[in-house]
């Protein structure tokens, strides 16, 4: 089944989406327009409750949106934007939240250590501070390269605006950084 293959592809590219969620994304992508929960249930051969729970997760991830036309009896669901832009946007939003959560966690851990003394407290403080600096750098690089956006991100359009020489220079620096031995 085509939807199985496309669904598996979506699952592989976005952690947290179930196989059925991937199939729903694929069904919405391949459809001519928004689809009702009943239609998705029939199309995928799954229960409405299973479709419903996956649609809620996809809505929460920012991939699917629910609408209801005036006078309609049922909600319909569609991708928030073109595929794969909607998946890329949701993935980057999730990564941005993870980085912010880790920054907050590091700061809270330092606060919890307070003015604790001793070798163990010093060692722990040193490690947590280093981790906090690392997440601050991640956040800074991420913010500079991918400013906060809500919704689909057209990477093809974005990359078309970046001069090829710059992309190659960044690629060379990245390769050099990843190939160097860690201290």
CATH 3.40.50.300 describes domain 2-79:
no
Which region holds residue 118: left if phi is over 0, alpha if psi is between -120 and 50, else beta? left
**Distance from C-alpha of 116 to C-alpha of 112, rounded to nearest angstrom:** 9
The pLDDT of residue 157: 87
pLDDT at residue 183 tops 70: no
Mean pLDDT score across all residues of the chain: 90
Distance of CA 135 to the CA centre of its chain: 17
Q: What is the pTM of this model?
A: 0.78
| Domain range summary for the chain, segments of one domain joined by + | 2-79, 85-179
The pLDDT of residue 163: 93
* pLDDT digit string, tens, across residues 80-136: 999 889 988 888 888 888 999 999 999 999 999 988 999 999 999 999 999 999 999
């Amino acid at each position: 089944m085509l939807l199985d293959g496309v669904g598996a592809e979506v699952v592989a590219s976005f952690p947290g989406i179930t196989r059925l969620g991937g199939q729903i994304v694929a069904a919405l992508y391949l459809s001519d327009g928004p689809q009702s929960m009943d239609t998705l249930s029939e199309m995928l051969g799954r229960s409405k409750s299973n479709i419903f729970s996956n649609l809620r997760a996809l809505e929460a991830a920012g991939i699917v949106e629910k609408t209801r036309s005036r006078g309609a009896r049922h909600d319909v669901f569609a991708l928030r934007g073109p595929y794969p832009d909607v998946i890329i946007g949701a993935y980057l939003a999730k990564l941005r939240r993870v980085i912010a959560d880790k920054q907050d966690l590091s700061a809270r851990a330092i606060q919890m250590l307070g003015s604790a003394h001793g070798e163990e407290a010093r060692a722990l403080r040193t490690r947590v501070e280093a981790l906090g600096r690392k997440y601050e750098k991640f956040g800074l690089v991420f913010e500079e390269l991918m400013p906060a956006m809500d919704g689909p991100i057209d990477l093809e359009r974005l990359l078309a605006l970046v001069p090829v020489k710059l992309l190659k220079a960044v690629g060379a620096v990245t390769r050099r950084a990843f190939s160097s031995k860690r201290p």
